[in-house]
Structure 1
Amino acid sequence: MHRNGTSSVIVSAAPFDDVWFIHASMSHIDRLPSYDELKALHQAAFGDGWAYQVFAPPADHVNIHAYALHLWGRADGASCLPDFTCGMGTI
């Protein structure tokens, strides 16, 4: 965890269904993290691996900080989704 008085970064890992996942979050006191900040968090926590923002259905949504964003990904960096490009490199 890192806190500088106005921002926090938390990175943790835990197994789910026998697969280790990383959770990385960033928050600020008065604003959401920017896209560039989220990219930097991704690079720091996941390197070249896959990570995802999760948009849960309203009934399952959890929000304990109005200005926090989260990334989730497998600790081995593997994708959790199919190749939507169908091998063509475009969508």
Structure 2
Amino acid sequence: MPDTPHITVHPVTAKGGRPVTAHTHGTDAPLGTAYGLRDVVEFARRAGLHDPESLVEQDSPMIVWTGAARTPGPERPRGGCPAAGGSARSRVSP
């Protein structure tokens, strides 16, 4: 049985985001932390999934949601101070 590439959105961490990993060729690689659906779309795009917006909207099996509901959590402002609701992790600008 072939190994199907997909991304996994893991349960919410204590800091409020959901870790996202890409699974391909039998291994998992971290993509970052999702704080909203737009982050999941961006990580799916980086992982090389075709039409990531549709995959998220249509609840595709290529995006595996673990833990609670499929929504990563409240959207947070990009960049800035984590204490002010920003993210300390690096992001690629659209």
Shared topology, TM-score over 0.5? no
Give the number of the structure whose residues are more often strand, by fraction.
1
Greater Rg by CA: 1
TM-score by length of 2: 0.30
Q: With structure 1 as the length reference, what TM-score do the two structures score?
A: 0.31
